[in-house]
Amino acid sequence: MADYIIGSFNTQNLNLRSDSAQKKDFEKIAEIIEKEKFDIVALQETITEIAINQIERHLPNYWIHDFNQENGRPDISDDDEDQIKSKNSAKGFTFLWNSRRFEECSKDNRAQFEPVKGHIVRRPFVGRFAPINGPFCEIRLINIHLCNPNNFKDMKLQEYAAVADLYDRIYSDRKYGNNRAAYTLILGDYNIPLRYCLECEEMHNLSIKAFLGGDDRPNEKTTLITQDTYQKAIDQGIQPFIFANDFDHCSYNESYFQDRNIKIEVKRINSVEVYCENDFIVHRKSISDHVPIKIELSLR
C-alpha cells in the first residue's frame, strides 16, 4: 500500500461558466479527488480561483490550495501574432492538498512560478510539501502544462528539455535550511506523447525519465477524442475508443529514487468509466477532456 498518493489533472478551463456547453460539476471533481485518496493534486487549466473554492466546498474543510494565474512571459512582444497567441494561451495552475497529510514547507515559500533556461510558454508552477507525522522529507512537485504554439516537434522537445534542466538545477537534490531529504516529480499535461519524451531524454542525456503512455499501451492514454469525432462514430454505428492521446505524464530521476529504495507507480484513472458511468459526453462537458493520473509513493 502506498504511503502517499499524488494526483495530476488538466481540468480544461476550470471556471464558473454556467452555459450548457460546459458547466463544470465541481462536486464530481471533488468526489474524484476524495475517492482516489489523493493527498496532493496538481491541477492545470484552473482559470479562476473562485472555481477552486467551489471544489473545496465539496471537500472536507482541511483541504486547502495554492492558485496562481500565469500571465505569459515578460519577454514576449505584442508585435508578433504567434507571440500574442503564446501570451493568450497562458492559464492558471493550482495545488490542492489535504492539510492533515501535508503542509507547505514554509509559509514564505508558497508555490510559485519558476523561470527556466530556454524558451517555454508557461513557466512551471512549483510547490514543496512536507508530510505531517511522516518521514523527514519533502515532496517537490513541478506542475507543468507545455503548449508551444508552433506545432513543430523540435520546439515541443525543447520545452521538455527546459523543464528537465530546472529539475537538475534547483529541485532534484537541493537542500534547504532544515536539510530534509527531497523527492522531486514533474507532472502535468506535457502535450506530447511518451515517445517524444523518451526521444528527448535520449537526445539530451537527461537525468529524468517520463512514465505513463506509449503507442502500445492504449489503456494509458489520458486525453479524450473530440465530441465531433465521437458523434460521427456513433452516427455511423461505431462504438469509438474515446481516448485520443497520451499527453499526461510524470517524470523523475529513476535511479535517484531506486538508490533510496523509494517505490513509485504511475497510473491512469479512467474517470469516464468510474465516475461518469461511461458517459463520454457528460465527462467532456462537466469534468474535462482529460482524465487524471495518480502517482503512488512508498517512502518507507
> Does 244 score more than 90 pLDDT?
yes
Q: Could you tell me which residues come within 8 angstroms of residue 231 by beta carbon, excluding any fewer than 6 positions away?
A: none
Q: Which long-range contacts (CB under 8 A, 24 or more apart) does 65-68 make?
A: 65/94, 65/95, 65/96, 65/97, 66/94, 66/95, 66/104, 66/110, 66/111, 66/127, 67/92, 67/93, 67/94, 68/92, 68/93, 68/94, 68/111, 68/112, 68/113, 68/125
Residue 243 confidence (pLDDT): 97
Q: What would the grid cell of residue 33 be?
A: 479527488
> Does 195 score more than 90 pLDDT?
yes
Residue 1 confidence (pLDDT): 74
Q: What percent of the chain has pLDDT over 70?
A: 87
Which of these, 283, 299, 300, 198, lies nearest to 28 by C-alpha position? Answer: 283
Q: What SS3 class is residue 284?
A: helix
What is the overall mean pLDDT for the chain?
89
Residue 75 confidence (pLDDT): 41
Residue, of 39 and 110, whose pLDDT is higher = 39
For the chain, the residue count is: 300
Mean pLDDT of 59-64: 97
Residue 150 confidence (pLDDT): 64
Mean pLDDT of 276-286: 96
In whole angstroms, give the CA distance from residue 59 to residue 70.
Answer: 26
> Does 237 score more than 60 pLDDT?
yes
Residue 30 confidence (pLDDT): 98
pLDDT band at 84 (very low <50, low <70, confident <90, very high): very low
In CATH, 4-298 is 3.30.300.130: no
Which of these, 297, 287, 295, 296, lies nearest to 10 by C-alpha position? Answer: 287
Q: What would the grid cell of residue 230 be?
A: 465521437
Q: Structural domain boundaries of the chain?
A: 4-298
Q: What would the grid cell of residue 144 be?
A: 507543468
